[in-house]
Amino acid sequence: LPWIKQTTEQIFEDDSLHDVCGQRQDGSVRARWPWHGTLYSKNWRSIKIELNRTEVFGVTILTNQYVITTMLGYFLYKEAPADLRIRFGHPAIGESDGWTQEMPIQAAFPYTGNRTNPISFATFKLKGRLQFTKYVQPICLWQVEPLSDRILKQSGFVLSFGGYNRGDKLQSIAMPIASKTDCVEDHFDFRELFRDKQTFCAGARNGTGPELLDIGTGLAIHNGNSWYLRGLL
């Protein structure tokens, strides 16, 4: 995601960057996706009533002080910035233990794009610094453009805390990456979604995929020996 790096590098402090990224430190199920976090607030009464949760939507760890999400996460932050927290390394929705880290947000940096690059996202600066453990690690930023034939044959993975398969533990959902041609052939209406060269298509033909509660989570792709952030839901 060169556009993420170009638009965020001016706000990153040098000492927040980590030499190692996109690495799993442990073979356990819980440690498979250590760069994932969720937004949390005890005061989300309307969301709790509607979705039966106070912990929704995803973020992805970029450094020990910055995470990235979609603009919906930014809008939730603007509603009640003092109430919002981000949880990392937790075993399940509504659960925490000695490995869990919870951080308030110090500042938010929305990026709404422009006419030539309409991509939008938001980065949050945490009020404090994450301690990297086997359950909390940064992901690498994608540096290869455009999509190569090799990448098109891979599957990316988005993460869900139980929305698709039910339950409350972190699950991964395989999202095969498709070319624009194949995607539009299967879903003609999707042609309108390809707004720029960064847009790509991923998902299974049977409809398996994330849902509303998973908005903001990243699409992770394994390339070489590391995991990279390739897109945002």
Query: Each residue of 201-233: pLDDT tens digit?
Result: 777 777 666 777 788 899 999 988 999 998 888
Does the structure show a pLDDT above 70 at 151?
no
Q: In terms of Cα–Cα distance, which of 132, 130, 146, 147 is closest to 66? A: 130
Per-residue pLDDT, 111: 86
Which of 67, 32, 104, 72 is closest to 215 using CA atoms? 72
Hey, what amino acid is at 150? R
- Cα–Cα distance between 151 and 219 in angstroms, integer? 13
pLDDT value of residue 103: 95
Run of H or E including 58: strand 55-61
pLDDT of amino acid 66 = 95
Question: Which domains, and CATH codes, for the chain?
Answer: 2-139 (2.40.10.10), 141-232 (2.40.10.10)
Using CA atoms, how far residue 48 sits from 43, 54, 55, 198, 213, in Å, is 9, 5, 9, 34, 12
Average pLDDT, the chain: 79
> SS3 of 21, please?
coil
pLDDT tens digits for 82-128?
Answer: 888 999 999 887 788 999 999 999 999 998 766 555 567 899 999 99
100 or 30, which is more confident? 100
> Residue 32 pLDDT > 80, yes or no?
yes
pLDDT at 163: 54
- Taking 90 as the threshold, does the pLDDT of residue 55 lie above it? no
